[in-house]
Amino acid sequence: MSDLVVIVYPTEAKAEEMRQKLFGLQKEYLIQISDAAIAVMHEGGKIKLNQLLNTTALGAASGGFWGLLIGAIFLMPVFGAAIGAASGALGGALSDYGVNDNFMKELSGSLQPGNAALFVLIQKMTGDKVLEAIKGTGGVVLKTSLDHTREQALRDALAASPAAQPLPTGPGPEATTNPAPAA
């Protein structure tokens, strides 16, 4: 079962930074993400979705390939590619992958202009390590399907101040200065 987490950021750049951080954690096998999309509220109330997969383009490319292949068999490769690309694009436009587009637009309708919402569909995660990695990154949790305890832990991690850098250990500055030569 997947969990949905929606976090609001003040800018699209900040939401994209967080999405890239999550992808980095995925490369370390700390989290497994099914989908990560960003919805941005623009002036005038227009919502733009920034998704990982463009299903229309993917469908057109796949359909064009298969249409070209079948068209080549019947000695009409250009016609086959055109029909394949058109049908693939239509199929891609009608399919929806990950978080439902209408749900993202509806939920993003409450954002202020310029704000961005990061929608993450999580399959699995190592909770304590992921929360430590995103500690202090900011953002406001808008909606989750997590239980109350895990949701509160996420809110606390986002709101926490980043961990203070430890002071270097070792000799102090007085040990690194050269003594004055004897006169």
126 within some domain: yes
pLDDT of residue 62: 59
- Tokens representing 121 are 């569909």
Q: Are residues 117 and 144 in the same domain?
A: yes
Domain that holds residue 125: 3-53+101-159
Q: Are residues 18 and 49 in the same domain?
A: yes
- Tokens representing 6 are 């929606």
Q: Are residues 109 and 147 in the same domain?
A: yes
Report the C-alpha gap between 38 and 121 in whole angstroms. 12
Residue 162 phi/psi, 5-degree rounding, is -55, 150
Q: Are residues 48 and 62 in the same domain?
A: no
Q: Are residues 105 and 141 in the same domain?
A: yes
pLDDT of residue 172: 45
pLDDT tens series, the chain, 183 aa:
688 999 999 999 999 999 999 999 999 999 998 888 999 998 888 988 888 754 445 455 555 565 655 666 666 666 655 665 565 555 554 444 567 888 888 888 888 899 999 999 988 988 889 999 999 888 899 988 888 999 899 899 998 866 544 444 444 444 444 445 555
pTM as predicted: 0.65
Looking at the structure of the chain, the number of domains it has is: 2
Q: Are residues 119 and 143 in the same domain?
A: yes
Report the C-alpha gap between 143 and 167 in whole angstroms. 38
Question: For the domain that residue 38 is a member of, what is the CATH number?
Answer: 3.40.1520
